[in-house]
Amino acid sequence: MNTLVLGGAGFIGRHLCAALIAAGHAVTSLDLLPAGGRVDWPAIAGVTWQAGDFTNTADLTTALAETDLVVHLVSTTLPRTSNENPLYDLHGNVGGSLQLFDLIRKQPKPPRIVFISSGGTVYGIPRTIPINEEHPTNPVCAYGIGKLAIEKYLALYRYLHGLDYRILRLANPYGEQQSLHSGQGVIPVFLHKALQHEQLEIWGDGTVVRDYLYIDDVINAILTTIDYTGTKRIFNIGSGTGHSLNDLLDHLRLLLGNAINCTYLPARVCDVPVNILDITLARRELGWQPLVPLAVGMAKVRDSLLCC
């Protein structure tokens, strides 16, 4: 299968490209980042790296030729920073994605789409825990509104033009090769700082609960979704359990065997108090389930940081 990964040089993108190659896909990556991401990361043999911007239709037109499947991982903003300029988020993420879908539906043989949405932001402040896919969607960040609008445009393009798509509302992914400087990925950042005996910064009192999912489980969910032919379109993809930031500190102490130096800062308005996804639908429909417990995943990230 000819597969185009939009954002293939990012954290999830690199892991996905490697897994797709291993699964026999012919893989092209379109990304603003240099081929394969950071120069100190291992190359991924077999991937065709196209440097380009997914909001540039010329770049997209080249990348889409002969493509059977598009996995759309691109975001031009982060949940936290999206509120600083919601219009930028709207034009880049929503406008770019809508333009992409319009280009795809005009292809001679439109490829299928797997879109990575955000289980951590589309629901907003939860009314019930865990959150299932039918939960109201009232985001408290522009990033979440953008992801939601993109989901709605996908459904519209299926209704109008028969576009085939699936949406994964992803919890908080973490793993090896996650950037320490992107503003996402608290687990590698905490591990890195703790290993360097630097002070950790906690926004709020540490009780904020998130649903952390190890990268291998994320990739398996995407691969399973590619093969899925059922009727469901939107799936929560999470660990099914929640951990507070203070839980993470406990795990760090156990993993590293030393005291953790941390400071508590004022809470951020964009942080919902708790987010745990109900993954019943993905278990039932996709036959997927998370396999890597938090302690195991964190140990793997620790080991990757120690060996570099």
Measured between its terminal Cα atoms, the distance across the chain in Å is 34
Q: Does 141 bind a second copy (CB under 8 A)?
A: yes
CA pair distance 308, 281, nearest whole angstrom: 38
Identify whether the C-beta of residue 53 lies closer than 8 Å to the C-beta of residue 9: no
Q: Does 94 bind a second copy (CB under 8 A)?
A: yes
The DSSP secondary-structure symbol of 138 reads: B
Identify whether the C-beta of residue 219 lies closer than 8 Å to the C-beta of residue 15: yes
Q: Does 268 bind a second copy (CB under 8 A)?
A: no
Catalytic one among 123, 143, 174, 214?
143
Residue 156 or residue 180: which is nearer to a second copy going by CB?
A: 156
Q: Does 273 bind a second copy (CB under 8 A)?
A: no
Q: Nearest approach, Cβ of 140 to a second copy (angstroms)?
A: 5
Q: Does 142 bind a second copy (CB under 8 A)?
A: yes
Q: Does 136 bind a second copy (CB under 8 A)?
A: yes
Residue 10 or residue 124: which is nearer to a second copy going by CB?
A: 124
Q: Nearest approach, Cβ of 155 to a second copy (angstroms)?
A: 6
Q: Per the structure block, which two tokens stand in for 63? A: 């990348």
b/e map 285-300, b = 16+ CB within 10 Å: ebebebebebeebbbb
Residue 81 or residue 138: which is nearer to a second copy going by CB?
A: 138
Q: Nearest approach, Cβ of 159 to a second copy (angstroms)?
A: 5
Site for a second copy in 163-222 (CB under 8 A): none
x/- map, 144-163, a second copy, by CB under 8 A: -x--xx--xx-xx--xx---
Run of H or E including 128? none
- Interface with a second copy (CB under 8 A), residue from 80, 91, 192, 283: 91
Q: Nearest approach, Cβ of 14 to a second copy (angstroms)?
A: 30
Q: Does 87 bind a second copy (CB under 8 A)?
A: yes
Residue 68 or residue 86: which is nearer to a second copy going by CB?
A: 86
Q: Per the structure block, which two tokens stand in for 101? A: 């879908």
- Please confirm whether the linkage preceding 266 is cis (ω < 30° from 0): no
The DSSP secondary-structure symbol of 20 reads: H
Residues in CB range of 58: below 8 A, 6 or more apart: none
Q: Does 138 bind a second copy (CB under 8 A)?
A: yes
Identify whether the C-beta of residue 169 lies closer than 8 Å to the C-beta of residue 277: yes
Q: Which residues pair with 84 in a beta bridge?
A: none
Where helices occur in the chain by DSSP H, the ranges are 11-22, 57-64, 79-82, 86-89, 96-105, 142-161, 186-195, 215-227, 245-256, 280-281, 294-306
Q: Nearest approach, Cβ of 152 to a second copy (angstroms)?
A: 5
Identify whether the C-beta of residue 179 lies closer than 8 Å to the C-beta of residue 185: yes
Q: Does 83 bind a second copy (CB under 8 A)?
A: yes
Q: Does residue 143 have an active-site annotation?
A: yes
Residue 133 or residue 217: which is nearer to a second copy going by CB?
A: 133
- Mind telling me the catalytic residues? 143
Which chain residues interact with a second copy by CB under 8 A?
Answer: 83, 86-87, 90-91, 94-95, 98-99, 102, 134, 136-142, 145, 148-149, 152-153, 155-156, 159-160, 269
